[in-house]
Amino acid sequence: MSLRIGIVGAGANTRSRHIPGFQEIDGVEVSAVCNRSRESGQKVADEFGIAHVFEDWKELVHSDAVDAICVGTWPYLHCPISLEALAAGKHILTEARMAMNLDEAKQMYAASQQSDKVAMIVPAPFYLESESLLLEMVADGYFGDWLEIHLRGMSGAYDPSAPLHWRQRKELSGNNIMALGIINETVRRYAGDEKGLLAHGRTFTPERVDAQTGEKLPADVLESLGAVVEMECGATAVYHLSSVAPQGASGAFEFHGTKGTFKLGDGGAWIAAAGEDLHQLEVPAEKQGGWQVEQDFVDAIRKGKPVTHTSFADGVKYMAFTEAVQISLAEGRRVELPLD
């Protein structure tokens, strides 16, 4: 019997990655889709040969035509769809930016713990090819103790006339700011928990025109964010994210330790022992990773494979980090972690 996947929210990432990824797996069928309108859902169904189109996502979730749900909507629906799916006895894979806020993330995690179904979040995609080898080197002490960690997500363009994007709307994105959550998820894989942080941010264009309605609406998600973080391991981590820095370093990570350094960016992973120059990390074929989200989700369902990229428990941790950033921004103070 095939594993039948229902798609709720068929945006660009879902159409380019998730649907083709599932359809490449033997015995997996993308059987249903629900998009923002019946017409757009039908268009996706026609493109990918999907049998069932729903106008109401709840009807899809409760349909006998699906065994598992893939959520590709904006963050404001991640929690309600996940809760409904788990209550209906369906496996759930939700797009990154787990939820609107920490409270929703905790609700999702609690529901997953009360269910025997697989609950998984699309993971941070940064430099998966070298991750396995680098984590092995970290565990073996190649880099020593972490001293400095620097994270940069600099991209976009300064264009006050550009129309409002959903990522700039807090009512749709919640506490998520640019790629903050998935960058933090990546950092946590290598360096563990945070102890406290202090954040500062700014929005340069506080209102933008909604392209559909023509009205001006708040653009209330930050366009520039900096945070200084004290790690439990003793390192200082510095985050700098911007959506108005077109020539910036997008998705750049630096980890500096007592014995060596590694950097992620410029086309791959670069390492150096203390006192040496950086050189590109050669990753043996048997240790190379990559994007395998859809296969991992299916293997977790069929084979009971543990979810490592990314569990709801991991999602709660990065949502707690984003919540702490929001508290620091609102109150102008250092916030201790973990949050109570």
So what's the pLDDT on residue 212?
Answer: 87
Pairing of strands 146-154, 279-280: unpaired
CB neighbour list of residue 181: distance below 8 Å, 6 or more residues apart = 96, 97, 98, 318, 319, 321, 322
The model's confidence at residue 251, banded by pLDDT at 50, 70 and 90, is confident
CATH topology identical between 3-124+292-311 and 128-289+319-336: no
Residue pair 26/7 in contact (Cβ under 8 Å)? The answer is no
Inform me whether the pLDDT recorded for 1 exceeds 80: no
- The mean-pLDDT minimum among 3-7, 243-247, 326-330 falls in 243-247
Digit-coded pLDDT (tens) for 102-150 = 999 999 999 999 999 999 999 999 999 999 999 999 999 999 999 999 9
**Alpha-carbon dihedral sign for residues 220, 106, 228, 329:** positive
Helix (H), strand (E) at residue 149? strand 146-154
What b-and-e string marks burial along 169-198, b requiring 16 or more CB atoms within 10 Å of the CB? bbebbbbbbbbbbbbbbbbbbbbeebeebb
Look at the block and give the residue holding tokens 């409904």.
84
The model's confidence at residue 340, banded by pLDDT at 50, 70 and 90, is confident
Tokens of 212: 């559909």
Share of the chain above pLDDT 70, in %: 100
Query: Domain ranges in the chain?
Result: 3-124+292-311, 128-289+319-336
So what's the pLDDT on residue 264?
Answer: 96
So what's the pLDDT on residue 170?
Answer: 96
Give the residue from 135, 129, 139 showing the smallest Cα distance to 286: 129
Average pLDDT of the segment spanning 140-162: 96
The CA distance from 178 to 173, in Å, is: 9
| CATH topology classification for 3-124+292-311 | Rossmann fold (3.40.50)
CB neighbour list of residue 267: distance below 8 Å, 6 or more residues apart = none
Average pLDDT of the segment spanning 33-61: 96
Instruction: Please give the model's pTM, rounded to 2 decimal places.
Output: 0.94
- For helices 102-113 and 78-87, what crossing angle results, to 10°? 10
Q: Which CATH code is given to the segment(s) 128-289+319-336? A: 3.30.360.10
The model's confidence at residue 250, banded by pLDDT at 50, 70 and 90, is confident
